[in-house]
Structure 1
Amino acid sequence: MATFALIHGGGGSAWDWHLLEPELRGRGHDTVAVDLPVEDESAGLLDYADTVIEAVGDRRDLVVVAHSWGGFVGPLVCARRPADLLVMVTAMIPAPGERPADWWRDTGFDHKDMDDPIGLFLHDVPAELAAESMTRGRSHADKSTAEPWPLDGWPDVPTRFLLCRDDRFFTPDFMRRVVRDRLGITPDEIDGSHAPMLARPKELADRLEGYLPVRP
């Protein structure tokens, strides 16, 4: 049995994982999904990581799963607490000392038209679920986006990257390049939009379980 620590993206919440959690628990695993303090003007990146670490407590066999902007948080958790695996799901990959606000420029991200967020992020999510997701969005305070990422390098933890082939925000060609340049690995791929935990929870659970190390 593994413990999956599920870290949502920018402006998201623990609710984002509410379909994935029963899939993983039904397979005998434990899950921990928390609301990062994204609205707290005093909270920095290490505070975000501490929120996850405190929620995990003394659970063992930890797998950290970071989605989208949560990519700035997942490695911090792994640097401060033993983890068996880090899985980045269509996530931002930080560089040492990089401010999250600068990531877009540093990676050459092609900014998108945000007039249709459902079409951009959730185009394959059932309509009612996508609409509910929009009502649950939270504002993101500036501090955690403006401070440098505090690690000197990537944590010493096995890392997998899962990109979404139909992602209109972090498009596949863009993410393949960023993953190669920043992690030096070839990403795995899954069908679907930027939110596979809402669009394809069973398939995502299959992938996550398939990443687990084989135990004697």
Structure 2
Amino acid sequence: MFNRLKSAGVAAALLAATVPALTSASTAVAVPASDPKPTIVLVHGAFADSSGWSKIAPELRDQGYPVVAFSNPLRSVQYDSAYLRSFLDTIPGPIVLVGHSYGGAVITNAATGDPDVRALVYVAAFALDEGETVQDASVLGGGHPTIGDHLVIRPFPGAGEGNADAYIDPAAFRSLFAADLPRREAAFLAASQRPAALATFATPSDEPAWKTIPSWYVVAKQDKTIPTAAERVMAERAGATTVEVNSSHVPMLSKPGKVLKVIAAAAR
């Protein structure tokens, strides 16, 4: 009896000594560190502000992504890109840049040479080539933009000769910018639009980031702000993974689910 108890005690002692060691070893091997999710930086374009991402940002946050809706100065391609570039320097870890409309021109320049930017997403946006302006890109593929016929021009201090702020005439805003949104929602966007300096349309772009960074593009098939033909040309030459959506110029507001899927694919 004593010998059996003694043997059982020795076995129990050996087991007690062995199990923690095995547990510790298996824990060290079986639980690798996971990669952090990228911060998704949303960049609005002309005639808009960060509230244009109101149907996108909360969903991305619910999926566990850090999200920032960047306030685009709308002064010129060079100024706005430099501003965004300095902002990105304050964000640790990987980044996915999402640009709408003119915001595409800004991310195209700001991300060049930034190793933290892992993907670019263009939402009905300008993916400019080197030396190209927004005006140049608007007529790619034989597009015929009409937005220039519906601008309200207002001065601003320090604008310089030939420069001023441009707004879309509220009477034409819904048909040009947001035809598939409810009238009440489109009317508020028209009333709250942020102006873009004329310099944003005429400033040449620098070396594009899409030449070295994987890109995605959402083409808006009913766009009356950037001709759909121009969007298709920009998406193709950027080698972007392209999704076409039957929407106006603001698919992130009228078809947010489709835009979310594209952003999530880029973030993965």
Normalising by the smaller structure, the TM-score range is 0.7 to 0.9
The answer to whether the aligner puts 1:78 opposite 2:111 as a matched pair is yes
Question: Residues 21 and 152 from structure 1, CA distance in 2 versus in 1: closer, same or farther, beyond 3 angstroms?
Answer: closer
Distance apart, 1:20 and its partner CA: 1.2
**1:185–1:85 CA distance, 2 compared to 1 (3 A):** closer
Aligned match of 2:71 in 19, 35, 46? 35
| Residues 126 and 199, structure 1, Cα contact 8 Å, conserved in 2 | no
Q: Work out which of the residue numbers 122, 133, 138 in structure 2 matches 1:99.
A: 133
Normalised by the size of structure 2, how large is the TM-score?
Answer: 0.68
Hey, what's the Cα distance between the residues in 1 that align with 2:203 and 2:73? 15
The number of residues matched between the two structures is: 208
Q: Does 1:16 align with 2:71?
A: no
- Post-superposition offset of 1:173: 4.1
Q: Per-residue deviation at 1:185?
A: 4.8
Aligned partner of residue 97 in structure 2, secondary structure = strand
- Give the TM-score taking structure 1 as reference length: 0.83
Aligned counterpart, 2:223: 167
CA contact 1:90–1:164 (8 Å) conserved in 2: yes
Percent identity of equivalent pairs: 25
Contiguous gaps of at least 5 residues in structure 2: 1-36, 151-170
2-structure distance, mates of 1:124, 1:144: 26
Measure, in 2, the Cα distance between the counterparts of 1:16 and 1:3.
18
Q: 1:173 to 1:111 in 2, by over 3 A?
A: closer
Counterpart among 191, 194, 198 of residue 138 in structure 1: 194
Map of 1:187-202 to 2, 5 A cutoff?
187-202=242-257
Larger Cα Rg: Structure 1 or Structure 2? 2
Partner amino acid, structure 2, of 1:30:
P
Q: Counting helix residues as a fraction of each chain, which structure ranks higher?
A: 2
- Structure 2 distance, partners of 1:146, 1:170, is 15
SS in 2 for 1:84: strand
Counterpart among 157, 171, 176 of residue 232 in structure 2: 176
Residues 110/101 of structure 1: CA separation in 2 closer, same or farther (3 Å cut): closer
Tell me the distance in 2 between the aligned counterparts of 1:124 and 1:14. Answer: 19
Taking the aligned partners of 2:103 and 2:201, their CA distance within structure 1 comes to 12
Root mean square deviation, CA, Å? 2.4
- Quick check: 1:97–1:152 contact (8 Å CA) kept in 2? no
CA change 1:152–1:74 in 2 (3 A) is closer
